[in-house]
Structure formats: C-alpha cells, structure tokens
Amino acid sequence: MRDNCGKFAVELSVYFDGELEGEAAEAMEGHLEVCPSCRASLEKMRRIRSAMHTAAKGPRTQRRSMVDEIMARLDDGGKESTGA
C-alpha cells in the first residue's frame, strides 16, 4: 500500500460492505481509481466472499475442510472446483 492509503485501508471493508456513503464513498472511489494496491485488496475481498459462498453451497470431499476448499478456489482464481 502506498503512504496515503492509511485512512482508505481502514475504510475499505466498510466500502466493500456497501456501508460507506456520501463524500466518503466518493473519496474512496477516487482513491481506488488511482491506487492499484487498494484495488487489489478490494478484489481480494470480493474473491474471498465469492469463494466462501461457492464453497458453502457446493460439495466438499471428506478430506478437505471448508477453509481448504475456499483456499483452493482462491488459488484457481475463483473458478468452480471439481471437488477431487
């Protein structure tokens, strides 16, 4: 993260949850346009949420815990796992 990311890093999860409003949301969106590090953090949050939803719905093998399944899906870039 860059030096000026401090306040944005704190608010990023609030923005991700859709709870940042008004000028604060606009400032975050402006920052995300110019900061690849914060954009990458936001994308990682999105991938984690997607992987969690997918893993919770899909079948898991007996050898894998849900955390293992989520990590496997993240390693695959969020693609569906075959469960093998």
- For 63-81, write each residue's pLDDT tens digit: 467 777 777 777 776 555 4
Judge whether residue 3 has pLDDT over 70.
no
12 or 60, which is more confident?
Answer: 12
Is 73:55 a contact under the CB 8 Å cutoff? Answer: yes
- For 15-61, write each residue's pLDDT tens digit: 999 999 999 999 999 999 999 999 999 999 998 888 877 777 766 55
CA 24 to CA 38: how far, in whole Å? 15
How many residues would you count in the chain? 84
CA 63 to CA 27: how far, in whole Å? 45
pTM of this structure: 0.65
Judge whether residue 82 has pLDDT over 60.
no
Write out the two tokens for 20.
Answer: 């940042």
CA 15 to CA 25: how far, in whole Å? 7
